[in-house]
Amino acid sequence: MARARVHQHVNPLAKYFRELPVEPLDPEDVFDDASLPLHLDIGCARGRFILEMARIEKGWNFLGVEIREPLVDDANKIRDDENLGNLHYGFCNATFDLRELLKDVPEGILKAVTIQFPDPWFKKRHAKRRMVKGSMVRSILRHLADDGTVLLQTDVDFVAEEMLGEFLRTGEFEMEKLDENPIAVKTEREIAVENKGLPVYRYLLRRK
Ligand SMILES: C[S@@+](CC[C@H](N)C(=O)[O-])C[C@H]1O[C@@H](n2cnc3c(N)ncnc32)[C@H](O)[C@@H]1O
């Protein structure tokens, strides 16, 4: 069967992607044990990072969100094939939809957030399409547990500064610059970047 064509990039500011019919996620519906701590991976692409995490970390639930729907459908099929009750992928525009998506997630459950190698949208006129915006950071803050962490990674220096700036501007986070990735599993983009010998900018944020 032919696979649907997956666009390499979609414009998150296009009307269609600003008006996605996103419904609140009920952890009871998608996870075997909804009381486990939740790890949210934002912009998960094919979702292989959290797939591997879900295989090895049975004491956590993993939620990947992605704006390219065919990738989400394929990833959920793999989840079903492997019968992983601690993994789910959601189709949404993370810049605008996290507040609604996470609305019914009980307080204190969201313990880890990863934002890894988001699209840089290099051209100045496309900069508005970058994923991390103040409203998204506020949605994360609303749900992040008191002892929760946010890991940011990118190989693009100005994207690192921009993302970090959005989080620190809230005054609610303290930041640690990391030389190594504290997570054992690497994302697909991280592996590609490391193979090219490029630097990776990494920051771990904790609530103050
Ligand atoms: C360069 S890829 C990196 C994927 C993965 N995190 C990794 O490190 O291998 C960035 C991903 O973020 C997704 N993305 C971009 N903007 C998004 C948005 N507003 N909401 C959700 N996903 C988004 C893209 O479709 C793409 O799959």
Question: Residue 6: what pLDDT?
Answer: 78
Question: Residue 150: what pLDDT?
Answer: 98
155 CA to centre of own chain? 16
Indicate the pLDDT class of residue 126, thresholds 50, 70 and 90.
Answer: very high
90-118 mean pLDDT:
96
19-48 mean pLDDT:
97
Indicate the pLDDT class of residue 1, thresholds 50, 70 and 90.
Answer: very low
Task: Flag whether pLDDT at 54 surpasses 80.
Answer: yes
| Coil/strand/helix, residue 65 | strand
Task: Flag whether pLDDT at 61 surpasses 80.
Answer: yes
| Coil/strand/helix, residue 73 | helix
CATH topology of domain 24-207: Rossmann fold (3.40.50)
Question: Residue 145: what pLDDT?
Answer: 97
| pTM for the structure as a whole | 0.96
Indicate the pLDDT class of residue 19, thresholds 50, 70 and 90.
Answer: very high
Q: Locate the domains of the chain by residue range.
A: 24-207
Ligand 1 center from residue 139 Cα (angstroms): 18
Phi, psi of 50 (to 5 degrees): -75, -20
Phi, psi of 93 (to 5 degrees): -100, 100
| Cβ atoms of residues 164 and 118 within 8 Å | no
Q: Which atom of ligand 1 is nearest to the CA of 96?
A: 19
* Separation CA 74–CA 79 (nearest Å): 9
Q: Is 74 in the pocket of ligand 1 (CB under 6 A)?
A: no
Ligand 1 center from residue 180 Cα (angstroms): 22
Q: Which residues are catalytic?
A: 119
Determine which residue's CA is closest to atom 23 belonging to ligand 1: 43
Q: Is 45 in the pocket of ligand 1 (CB under 6 A)?
A: yes
Question: Residue 3: what pLDDT?
Answer: 56
Instruction: Write the DSSP assignment of 108-155 as a string of letters.
Output: T-EEEEEEES-----SGGGGGG-S--HHHHHHHHHHEEEEEEEEEEES
Q: Is 121 in the pocket of ligand 1 (CB under 6 A)?
A: no
Residue pLDDT, tens place only, 141-192: 999 999 999 999 999 999 999 999 999 999 999 999 999 999 999 999 999 9
87-111 mean pLDDT:
96
125-136 mean pLDDT:
95
- Strand 144-154 versus strand 110-116 pairing type: parallel
Q: Name the helix (H) or strand (E) containing 54.
A: helix 48-56
DSSP letter assigned to residue 187? P
Question: Residue 8: what pLDDT?
Answer: 85
Q: Is 46 in the pocket of ligand 1 (CB under 6 A)?
A: no
